[in-house]
Amino acid sequence: MFHQRLLERTQKLNTRLCLGLDPRLSAHGSFEQMKQQTLAVLEGAAPHAACVKPQAAFYEAMGLPGIEFMVELMRLARNLDLPVLLDAKRGDIGSTAEAYAQAWMTGEHAGNALTVNPYLGFETLQPFIDAGRKNGGGVFVLVKTSNPGSHDLQDLATADGLLAEVVAKALDRLGAEEGEGLSSVGAVVGATHPAELKKFRDLMPRATLLLPGLGAQGAKAEDLADAFNSEGVGAVVSASRGIQYASTDLSVEAAVQAAIGFKDQLNQAVQR
């Protein structure tokens, strides 16, 4: 399963870093230059990352060539034995959810983890969860996102607690269906909410947490220790712009050094 592979890689390489790759065509001289720099960053930073997270929107924005490039990037990641977490935030009802799950969690893409949106109702998660369990993949469900406006809905009070807490409790119940240990049902909790990490870690002890927001969004590695379990695992922290665009000249070496720096900072945070 994806989450087991992620755990094993975290322990083997001593890294809790999720390598985000969100290429921006405007930052490069051409599509080909963007492609080559992105692939070079992936190959150079792979030994220092627990997984890679392409954000589908940036590839979709470039049309069919961008989507083909994303598939090529994911293929290279697999060849590097690097788990792929596709950040596409899919979510829909019934047969449409099943189609999204088929598109990104079966066939050529089987074994990927996928970010999904639960706010259409918990039954809409089931096609994604089922596909993950069948194909060795997993899901990362949005619980408390990293953007400043997340409080508009996710902090609404309900009879069972804040809405984000209700989602967290539901995910823990879904994860419990798989028994002990980390489940295939993970959760997205923004690294930009460090004061809430312990709460969500306690509400979802079986879930691997994906923490976006390190670097460009302002989150700091030293504030994130509460996201990890007592063994120092169970979470990965995503950095994107702070790695791929670490230098204005698009240096691959600078990107790799930035990845190493984030990895080391996260390890220090867990060891405190």
Contacts of 119 (CB under 8 A, 6+ apart): 91, 142, 153
Q: Which string of DSSP letters, residue by residue, matches 91-129?
A: ---HHHHHHHHHHHHSGGGTT-EEEE--TT-GGGGHHHH
Please, where are the H alpha helices in the chain? 2-13, 31-45, 56-60, 63-79, 94-105, 126-135, 151-154, 163-176, 197-203, 241-244, 252-271
Nearest CA among 208, 226, 206, 209 for reference residue 269: 226
Confidence at 248, pLDDT banded by 50, 70, 90: very high
Both tokens of 119, joined, read 């706010």
> For residues 130 and 114, what is the distance between their CA atoms, to the nearest angstrom?
12
pLDDT for 66 equals: 97
Predicted confidence band of residue 265 (pLDDT cuts 50, 70, 90): very high
pLDDT value of position 217: 79
Residue 154, pLDDT > 90, answer no
- Percent of the chain residues topping a pLDDT of 90: 85
User: Could you say which of 12, 35, 89, 263 is catalytic?
Assistant: 89
The question of whether 220 is a catalytic residue gets the answer no
Residues 205-244 pLDDT 10s: 999 999 999 887 788 999 999 999 989 999 999 999 999 9
What pLDDT score does 210 carry? Answer: 97
Whole-model pTM: value is 0.95
Looking up tokens 């639960």 gives 118
pLDDT in tens, 1-47: 899 999 999 999 999 999 999 999 999 999 999 999 999 999 999 99
What average pLDDT does this structure show over 95-113?
A: 90
Q: Which of 128-132, 143-147, 161-165 has the highest mean pLDDT?
A: 128-132
Helices marked H in 14-122 = 31-45, 56-60, 63-79, 94-105
Distance CA 53, CA 201 (A): 21
pLDDT at 42: 98
- Terminal Cα distance for the chain, rounded: 30
Closest CA to 229 of 200, 188, 254, 255: 200
Q: CA 117 to CA 199: how far, in whole Å?
A: 20
The predicted-structure confidence for 123-140, as pLDDT tens digits, reads as follows 999 999 999 999 999 999
Which two tokens mark 265? 């900072």
pLDDT at 108 exceeding the cut of 80: no
